[in-house]
Amino acid sequence: MNVISIPFNKPYMTGRELWYIAQAHTNGHLSGNGIFTKKCQSWLEVQTKTQKALLTHSCTAALEMAAILANIQPGDEVIMPSYTFVSTANAFVLRGGIPVFVDIRPDTLNIDETKIEAAITAKTKAIIPVHYAGVACEMDSIMDIAQRYDILVIEDAAQGIMSTYKGRPLGSIGHMGTYSFHETKNIISGEGGALLINDVRFVERAEIIWEKGTNRSQFFRGQVDKYTWIDIGSSYLPGEVIAAFLFAQIEEADQITQKRREIWSVFHQALAPLEKSGKLRRPVVPPECEKNAHMYYILLPNLTIRNHVIEQLKASDIHTVFHYVPLHDSPFGKNHGRMADDLPVTRMASNCLLRLPLWLGVEVHQQKIINELTACLI
Ligand SMILES: *Cc1c(COP(=O)(O)O)cnc(C)c1O
């Protein structure tokens, strides 16, 4: 009988989270923008070489801030993949923006940079590259298009912390970038995120939007003598307990990433024969992209086989998941977005992709996962 259940995800704790939370408690500063927030933000600024990093409640919140900073107005168009999480679109739709969905590349499943230009109109304000699975989009081409048309690039790097493109950290290449620290990501704080600002023009206003539309940050630095309402904004900053938790995680970011890469490689090598015999396709990582091993996915030949594999693995207590319902095909997206073309690769990925469990500790189960998966397909 099978008693060990292998979950799809299991949050990893370094062991120092509670210690730092206790320190935050002792410090007596529990609202946002305290010592731990500053430690995390400094680490992010050094790690990504960006002008400014601001912690947020989530990547969703960071994307909402980016949409305000990009000055998205009703009717403005924002180019993005349909194969992504809903927040990529929602943040812009909240400001009246219209998502324009472009297909993804068959290799990396990232936005197909060769299809972006045809989707640009006079109303296009921004391109949102999503670095799927922590593997970089073709950023040189995307930045070149953005420059030629004078539009902004906001990287949805929710899955991209510790990954690079031509040596540059994801989230630091566009005008702005966003990270997620949701518990399903590599570096976590339960819920959490960050906005990275590369373009210095946006730094001052970002702090104001972050602090409910006030100049509170400038006031505390002694740069202004009154603290008052000067712009739109919201409460986007997390409290110190979250920042303390996150600090324990980012201290171990290198080790966590290394471990994930090793687990990824074990899957990748073991599944090579199945790819060779045409049973599945493995992820593609272009040579200019260094991955953070956020996920290990496989592409199966069709929806029927994908669903069969999920059921078979579940019977062996191995939990795997698929995603995304493409945004252009969702009840809300159908009415509020526009398709740049037929999006055939998006449809294929939505039907054929399967994510395997990848978390620190799954190593002891990896051979079983590989054996059971192989048994389903042979
Ligand atoms: C996880 C994720 C988000 C949302 O992150 P939250 O921190 O949960 O708001 C946005 N975009 C992508 C591509 C994601 O994977």
Ligand 1 midpoint to CA 7 (Å)? 20
4 — pLDDT class (breaks 50, 70, 90): confident
**Residues in the chain, overall count:** 378
Ligand 1 midpoint to CA 273 (Å)? 33
pLDDT above 70: percentage of residues in the chain: 99
pLDDT the model gives residue 378: 86
pLDDT the model gives residue 3: 60
Q: How many CB atoms are closer than 10 A to CB 356?
A: 24
Does residue 1 surpass a pLDDT of 90? Answer: no
pLDDT above 90: percentage of residues in the chain: 96
Rounded distance between C-alpha atoms, residue 290 and residue 377, angstroms? 30
Q: Class assignment of domain 253-377?
A: alpha beta
Per-residue pLDDT averaged across 345-351, rounded? 98
Does residue 118 surpass a pLDDT of 60? Answer: yes
Q: Which two tokens stand for residue 372?
A: 């059971």
Q: Which atom of ligand 1 is nearest to the CA of 84?
A: 13
Rounded distance between C-alpha atoms, residue 149 and residue 258, angstroms? 39
> Closest Cα partner for 70 from 164, 153, 184, 183?
153
Q: Which two tokens stand for residue 82?
A: 């349909």
Judge whether 64 and 211 are in contact, CB under 8 Å: no
Residue 69, C-beta contacts closer than 8 angstroms, at least 6 positions apart: 176, 202, 205, 206, 209
Domain boundaries, the chain: 17-249, 253-377
Does residue 2 surpass a pLDDT of 70? Answer: no
Ligand 1 midpoint to CA 287 (Å)? 25
- Considering only CA atoms, which residue is closest to atom 5 of ligand 1? 59
Residue 220, C-beta contacts closer than 8 angstroms, at least 6 positions apart: none
Per-residue pLDDT averaged across 66-92, rounded? 98
* Ligand 1 binding pocket, CB closer than 6 Å: 58-60, 84-85, 87-88, 130, 156, 158-159, 180, 182, 193
Q: CA end-to-end span of the chain, whole Å?
A: 23
Q: Which two tokens stand for residue 28?
A: 């007596």
Does residue 274 surpass a pLDDT of 80? Answer: yes
Ligand 1 midpoint to CA 49 (Å)? 22
Q: Which atom of ligand 1 is nearest to the CA of 180?
A: 7
Judge whether 129 and 137 are in contact, CB under 8 Å: yes
pLDDT the model gives residue 298: 98
Which CATH number among 3.40.50.150, 3.40.640.10, 2.30.130.10, 3.30.9.10 corresponds to the domain 17-249? 3.40.640.10
Does residue 59 surpass a pLDDT of 90? Answer: yes
* Upstream peptide bond of 324 is cis (omega within 30 degrees of 0): yes
- pTM > 0.95: yes
> Closest Cα partner for 44 from 169, 222, 183?
169
Q: What residues are paired with 235 via a beta bridge?
A: 211
pLDDT digits 0-9 by tens, 10-44? 999 999 999 999 999 999 999 999 999 999 999 99
Ligand 1 midpoint to CA 185 (Å)? 9
> Closest Cα partner for 5 from 313, 301, 253, 231?
313
Per-residue pLDDT averaged across 316-340, rounded? 96
- Considering the chain, what is the average pLDDT of its residues? 97
